[in-house]
Amino acid sequence: MAIRDYELFEVPPRWLFLKVETDDGLVGWGEPVVEGRSKTVKAAVEELLDTYLVGEDPARIADHWETMYRGGFYRGGPVLMSAIAGIDQALWDIKGKRLGAPVHELLGGKVRETVRVYQWIGGDRPADVGAAAEEKVDAGFTALKMNGTAEMERIDSPAAVQRAADRLAEVRDAVGPEVDIGVDFHGRVSKPMAKKLVRALEPHEPFFVEEPVLPEHNDALPGIAETTTVPIATGERMFSRWDFKEVFEQGVVDLIQPDLSHAGGISEVSKIAAMAEAYDVAMAPHCPLGPIALASCVQVDATAHAALIQEQSLDIHYNETSDVLDYLADPSVFDYEDGHVAIPDGPGLGVEIDESHVREMAERDVDWHNPVWRHDDGSVAEW
């Protein structure tokens, strides 16, 4: 068996799908993408597959991963690791289909029957979050996540801090104490403002605060942790076990959020999850992406004792033109019940991609880029 060919599809709202085909007709799907940089990642995927994998046996996943990672003198980072991630997902999908087993069986079997999921409310500049929270809880979700702020100055006003606290208070008042509410700082907040914000939010008992500072400033996390009892989450912009090593050793991060389409795929995130367990850190994989990325996450969640909850992008504010379920032949595989999703038992990733719909949507012009925000003085703000 050998890899015969591959195709890449840029599809709305902002995703890149990879189809890998073997010489005996098996097909595996992956989702290699950096949101807003799909064309850049597409070129990296093509280079990796053409250089290392076409004509090779797809079953040797570990060797292919090491070759793609270590075969380049310059390694790591969002583009290369996302390219490796999508290829890795597709190879696991092929292996599962070849053996007639879901990926989680090949990783050692399930440690749970379902995975808890959370639902996004609000947008990048969150508004009307109270009503949105009630709606999602009425739909059966038991955990929510919202952005904490829009753009913030390096040292902002007490009013800006109070607005963030008031938004969380609105959601807490709407849903009560039984619902978990994660608050995403999105790296928009400077070190001094992060300390003020976490302290202001703490009375409303957030589930966690996410990316309180940019990953470039992870050295500031111990100082922030000293000011609060709120769990700290980070990791969506960390791309390998070596990136996570520092925060594990710091001992102040409570929840890691590796992305299965950015952090090296199923192979690498399985290793990161094992490291997290050794440091008594929980895991909630980042996934504001499409169905292949979500399927990959759930397969790892099934086998990782550290997995606490799973992000998913149904109805997220980015998905205005297409949504997760649109690309599946059987959308019921991601039916949510009581805030949980069952572990798919189909072969490979456990989902069947509607290829005709993928091809139809790939004909559309897809050119999503995140907005560039600016402060009042014209300088660029963190988005």
Q: Which two tokens stand for residue 373?
A: 């925000």
Candidates 64, 186, 262, 340; catalytic one:
186
SS3 146: strand
* Count of other CB atoms within 10 angstroms of residue 56: 15
| Distance of alpha carbon 345 from the chain centroid | 22
User: According to DSSP H, which parts of 121-264 are helical?
Assistant: 129-138, 158-175, 191-201, 221-225, 241-250
Q: Which two tokens stand for residue 347?
A: 């072969």
In the chain, the amino acid numbered 277 is E
Rounded CA separation 310/299 (Å): 11
Rounded CA separation 299/293 (Å): 10
Rounded CA separation 357/336 (Å): 23
Report yes or no: 30 and 292 within 8 Å, Cβ to Cβ.
Answer: yes
By the 10 Å C-beta count (0-12 exposed, 13-18 middle, 19+ buried), 110 is classed as middle
Report yes or no: 269 and 260 within 8 Å, Cβ to Cβ.
Answer: yes
Rounded CA separation 34/38 (Å): 6
Candidates 104, 204, 262, 286; catalytic one:
286
18 bridge partner residues: 8, 30
Report yes or no: 237 and 187 within 8 Å, Cβ to Cβ.
Answer: yes
Name the nearest CA neighbour of 29 among 102, 82, 101, 90. Answer: 90
Catalytic residue flag (residue 286): yes
Name the DSSP letter for residue 311.
E
- Is-cis flag, bond preceding 331, omega within 30? no
Name the DSSP letter for residue 377.
T
Name the nearest CA neighbour of 231 among 213, 259, 212, 250. Answer: 212
Residues belonging to the active site: 186, 286
